[in-house]
Homo-oligomer: A and B are copies of this chain.
């Protein structure tokens, strides 16, 4: 964990930093179900879509990660939160995702959500799977071969969940 990590709401001034973080992850296409050639404007619009609370993690004034928090469904599913996280490539291994996830869980509780669900955790993203388990999430579903990994072919996708 970086001592200096500050998590604060996203503002449009963070767009450049957001794209710097999102672009390599989207282009790699190994962990997210987004088009690998997704344009900057589309990616930023997707990540900060209406209804999402977006936060950034800053270390020494530099944005090193981003998260969103939203209801996973409408109506009878609106008590379950969904969230997503991306860490800057040059800031990995420093606890950014863990801090963003802890912040999301607290924020979700504060907003009255009664659970959090991840719909699409790529099973080969083992660092993430272990981290979410460590943060209290259980694997409640496994969809066979639901992700076309650019190097590994079709791999399973996990649904993960925890009550809040």
Interface residues of A in 109-164 (CB under 8 A from B): 114-115, 117, 119-120, 122, 140-150, 154, 157, 159, 161, 163
Query: Which of B74, B119, B122 sits near A33, CB closer than 8 Å?
Result: B74
Q: Is B75's CB under 8 angstroms from A157's CB?
A: no
Surface stretch bound by B, among A3-11, A15-23, A54-62, A76-84: A76-84
Q: A141-B141, A159-B159 are in contact. Are A146 and B75 (CB under 8 A)?
A: no
Query: Which of B29, B140, B159 sits near A75, CB closer than 8 Å?
Result: B29
Among A75, A76, A117, max chain B CB count under 10 A is at A76
Query: Which of B26, B146, B150 sits near A117, CB closer than 8 Å?
Result: B146
List the interface of chain A (C-beta within 8 A of B). Answer: 26, 29, 32-36, 38, 72-80, 114-115, 117, 119-120, 122, 140-150, 154, 157, 159, 161, 163
> What are 27 A-B interface contacts by the 8 Å CB criterion?
A29-B75, A33-B73, A33-B75, A33-B76, A33-B77, A34-B74, A34-B75, A35-B74, A38-B74, A38-B75, A72-B146, A76-B122, A76-B148, A76-B149, A77-B120, A77-B146, A77-B147, A79-B148, A79-B154, A80-B143, A114-B145, A115-B146, A140-B141, A141-B143, A144-B163, A146-B161, A159-B159
